[in-house]
Copies of this chain bind each other. A is one copy, B any other.
Amino acid sequence: MSRESIQRSIVEIVASSGIGGLSVRAVAARSGVAIGTVQHHFPSRSAMITAAMSVVEETAGALEADLPEAPADRLESLVSLLVPSSPDSIPARVWLAFAAQAAVDADVAAQYRRVWGRVHRGLAELFAQARPERSWAAAQDCASEILALADGLAVSVLIEPARVPADSARERARRRLHELLA
């Protein structure tokens, strides 16, 4: 059983049961391997939590992907990545579990800040490229607002899909992005 498939089990457990459901025993059971095998690859709870966040880091990675797109189009793609398309979205569910854990755990908070700081910087650079006549402070400001709006919409889509359906959340974020670029 490879490290990757154990990591996949970790991500699935966090998405379905939260950080509270994460234990060596639960990961071993879901992966169908011995507890010792899990411990070999993920020697601590904190190593498991870090592994779960990897699925969220892919959003940050998308910022650096060499997409052949104009900055405004890339911003639109990224906003679509940040607002989940379904309440079952695994990255969004892991992100929310991770955010709640970050509020009470300094190590997780440091990791959260690293990933979300990178997403924010990437968004700010795209705003600056899309509207080079504006200040860097203005670009950072736009990035902060759209990232916060996407995060808040993600919480709504996950927990209140009847009040905030995924499609309307994505449309609202897109509309606000266009206003910020106008």
Contact = CB atoms under 8 A, between A and B. Distances in A.
10 contacts: A17-B104, A19-B20, A20-B20, A93-B103, A93-B104, A112-B159, A116-B156, A150-B152, A152-B152, A155-B155
Interface stretch (A24-32, A62-70, A72-80, A140-148): A140-148
Interface residues of A, number: 44
Given A93-B103, A103-B97, A145-B172, A113 B153 contact: no
Contacts of A100: 18-19, 96-97, 99-101
A143 to B, nearest CB: 10
B144 A148 contact: no
Contacts of A21: 104
A40 interface: no
Contacts of A172: 141, 144-145, 148
B159 A148 contact: no
A115 B93 CA distance: 21
A151 interface: yes
Interface of A: 16-21, 93, 96-97, 99-104, 109, 112-113, 116-117, 120, 141, 144-145, 147-156, 158-160, 162-164, 168-169, 172, 176
Contacts of A99: 96, 100, 155, 159
B103 A158 contact: yes
Given A20-B20, A103-B158, A151-B155, 7 more contacts: A19-B100, A97-B103, A103-B159, A144-B156, A144-B168, A148-B169, A151-B151
Contacts of A154: 152
Contacts of A150: 152
Contacts of A17: 104
